[in-house]
Amino acid sequence: MSSPQYPNPQYQAPQYPNPTPAGFDAAPPLWAPHYGISFRDAIRRFFAKYATFTGRAGRGEYWWWVLASVIVSIILQVVITAGTSYDAYGRPVPGPVAILGYILVAAFTLATLVPSIAVTVRRLHDVNISGWLALVALVPFLGPIAVLVMVLLPSNPAGQRFDRPTAGGYKA
């Protein structure tokens, strides 16, 4: 005769999330890529690393900025188009609103040119490609397509060679 079989109780520690110290920001340091970054954080990081050509930028950091840049460009183009009228011969005549739009386009372009190049270089670093290859974009027709293909590549762990962390900050 056998005794009844009762299931053994399962003893384990309760599952709680790891506590985060007060005041601790979960975002990685600026020299490290931030994978899974939000739109807002990507824009903040873009301007925080204004002219930083070292380190890496994850896909999100790069493509969120591209999206923001395209949205701003479309809005400015709508302003220019809305402020433009046409004369009797069908030639465009920019009004004051269109001229303001052109000024804003120039200001936006000048303000974001250096950081846009910097985030492209950091994105290439994340793919483990030298940032100097961003200059390929200057080659007519095929250059921008080649850079587009390179920034579309997935992150490569070997790109860590472009990171420069040490206990005291950066390597010399």
Can you give the pTM of this predicted structure? 0.77
Over the stretch 52-67, which tens digit does the pLDDT of each residue have?
999 999 999 999 999 9
Over the stretch 86-118, which tens digit does the pLDDT of each residue have?
999 999 999 999 999 999 999 999 999 999 999
Q: Please state the φ and ψ torsions of residue 151, each to the nearest 5 degrees.
A: -75, -15
* Range(s) of the domain holding residue 72: 39-164
Over the stretch 128-150, which tens digit does the pLDDT of each residue have?
999 999 999 999 999 999 999 99
90 in any annotated domain: yes
> Measuring CA to CA, how many Å separate 1 from each of 4, 6, 36?
10, 16, 60
21 in any annotated domain: no
Q: What's the whole-number average pLDDT of the chain?
A: 86
User: Total domain count for the chain?
Assistant: 1
